[in-house]
Amino acid sequence: MHELSVCLALIEQVRRIAAERNAAEVSRIVLQVGPLSGVEAELLRNAYPLAAAGTVAENADLVIEAAAIVVSCGECGTESSASANRLLCAQCGGYRTRVVSGDEMILKSLELEKASGVGDTARDPEMERGPETQ
């Protein structure tokens, strides 16, 4: 399932950031998902609890924002917004466009809860390993 592996990679990234900042818990994750990214927000939301279980992000609110599609025109050089099924230049109608944004998934922001008091979470070498994929 594609969305689960996307989620696992996301959690890995979130864990790394949380460890770097000595956070005890992640309270909120804001993602920006482009319509051309191939990631379904609803499936991502469903897969999230599975991927986050037992991690610092287990109780985090997952906020998914839709990103706009922006194309750059090869004819006139204009950057304009476009819809997913019609990637044309808004300026001249040219079809030789390049997608500037709208095909990515971005970790936009994280809200972290600091570890309180003693027991500072030291940087764990385990965190440095990449997602376990084969």
Element housing 49 (H / E): helix 41-52
The binder of Zn ion chosen from 89, 105, 110, 112 (CB under 5 A): 89
Least CB distance to Zn ion at residue 97 (A): 7
Q: Which of 13/72 has CB closer to Zn ion? A: 72
Residue 22 interacts with Zn ion (CB under 5 A)? Answer: no
Residue 92 interacts with Zn ion (CB under 5 A)? Answer: yes
Least CB distance to Zn ion at residue 87 (A): 12
- 67 contacts: CB under 8 Å, gap ≥ 6: 32, 33, 34, 35, 101, 102, 104, 106
Q: Which of 79/111 has CB closer to Zn ion? A: 79
φ, ψ (nearest 5 deg) of residue 80: -145, 165
